[in-house]
Structure 1
Amino acid sequence: MDLERIWQLFQAGGIVMYPLVFCSILVLAVTLERHWSYKEAEQFRKGKDEFVRALLEGRWLEPQGASGPIAKLLKDAYSWRGLETSVQLQMFENTAASIMGRFRERISYLETIVTLAPLLGLLGTVVGMIQSFKVLAVKTGQMQAITGGVGEALVATATGLCVAVLALLCHSWLCQRLDRLAGDLEECGAALLTGSSFAAGRRSRETA
């Protein structure tokens, strides 16, 4: 399909094609921005199992990917080990909730576009069909013009559905990664608290 034909179809979709193009660009922009944000946070997974195992044994092992927000939280949490367990838990949960809140930023845009894009496409098609049927009111014997106009008007609906599908796939992919990061946080937090309790118990026995 050449560029001229693509431009013709774009024009046939009507004015709603412009917000649909904006929506598609926004989907790609949000997906790429969130991808790089999650990629940095996922760096610590390289040594996560060894890190958790060391904590459960009462040892501290430097987490991988120290530049990521999760690795920074784990370092901070280790420095809290002298505090009461309940205080450590509260501080960890508050910081983890703040991190997850930042991870969820702009994800709602994709949810909105999944709903908005088909509606915009439908609106464009309805407007196009109204314009096409005006031919019948003005002059009879123009069935080819009417059917052709309806066919072109459906371009808006097709475009809206394509944008919605793209947004849905990107949203599902990012949410999957977000859930894994939340699970990693919970696992590491539990290991930190267990290791802290283990170390505190050992210090108590040594003092006794």
Structure 2
Amino acid sequence: MLSIIQAAGWPIWPLLATSVIALALIIERLLALRRSRVLAADLLSEASLLATRPQIPADALARMERSSALGRLYASGLRARHLPRARLESAMEDAGRSIAHELERYLNALGTIAAVAPLMGLFGTVIGMIEIFSGWSPTGGDPAQLARGISIALYNTALGILIAIPALIFQRWFRARVSEYVLALEQAGARLLDALRPNDKGVAG
């Protein structure tokens, strides 16, 4: 394998670096988008209980924020619980937008890798073919050696496609998962909003 990598030329090294970056992003998103990290269970009852207190301890809010993305959303609502419903809703929406942005982190980078990796592989193959044919003489040469050189040059394209396929699959899967989480967060936020301001529905603040 090492001999093939060395024979494929310098363009294969950026591809190998790209594959490492793609793998790191996939692993990071798999850990960050676990359901327990986004939608911790039984937070609504805890938030409703905290809302009944005249003063909510700072450590309780900090613990809720650390628990999950949903905890951050609920903590933002609890901090603004004394505001009119419209302003409370606005504060929670701001927190929700920030959370959604964090959930989508690195997905554009993963999509870029999926799009660029085949082009990088094709570029490496073209460079290899140029080097092969620039040293080829029409009056002589070993056809078997030429065929082997072309085969090695094509490893760049093969590696680029091999990187792009899982990167694209995971990027699409992560986007679908983020959309599902965002919808769940919106519904959970609406439930807390109704619990904090049950009598202010439709009333501007």
The separation in 2 between residues aligned to 1:174 and 1:17, in whole angstroms, is 28
Where 1:87 maps in the other structure, the secondary structure is helix
Q: Structure 1 residue runs of 4+, over 4 Å off?
A: none
The separation in 2 between residues aligned to 1:43 and 1:197, in whole angstroms, is 22
AA in 2 matched with 1:24: S
The separation in 1 between residues aligned to 2:135 and 2:78, in whole angstroms, is 75
| Match in the other structure for 1:180 | 180
| Match in the other structure for 1:204 | none
Q: CA deviation at 1:165?
A: 1.1
Structure with the larger helix share: 1
Q: Cα deviations across residues 6-58 of structure 1 (Å, max 9, x unaligned)?
A: 112212322111111111111121122222222353351x347xx4xx69xxx
What is the TM-score with the length of structure 2 in the denominator?
Answer: 0.79
10-19 or 75-84, which deviates more: 75-84
What is the TM-score with the length of structure 1 in the denominator?
Answer: 0.78
Q: Cα deviations across residues 102-140 of structure 1 (Å, max 9, x unaligned)?
A: 222222211111111111100111111112223433642
Aligned length: 186
Change (3 A) 1:126 1:182: same
The separation in 2 between residues aligned to 1:141 and 1:81, in whole angstroms, is 81
AA in 1 matched with 2:23: L
Change (3 A) 1:73 1:179: same
Q: Does 1:35 align with 2:30?
A: yes
Q: Does 1:133 align with 2:133?
A: yes
Point out where structure 1 has 5 or more consecutive residues left out of the alignment: 1-5, 202-208
The separation in 2 between residues aligned to 1:32 and 1:112, in whole angstroms, is 17
| Match in the other structure for 2:146 | 146
After superposition, where does 1:1-208 map in structure 2 within 5 Å?
6-39=1-34, 40-44=36-40, 46-47=41-42, 51=44, 60=48, 66=64, 67-137=67-137, 139-199=139-199
Point out where structure 2 has 5 or more consecutive residues left out of the alignment: 51-62
RMSD of aligned Cα (Å): 2.6
Q: Percent identity?
A: 27
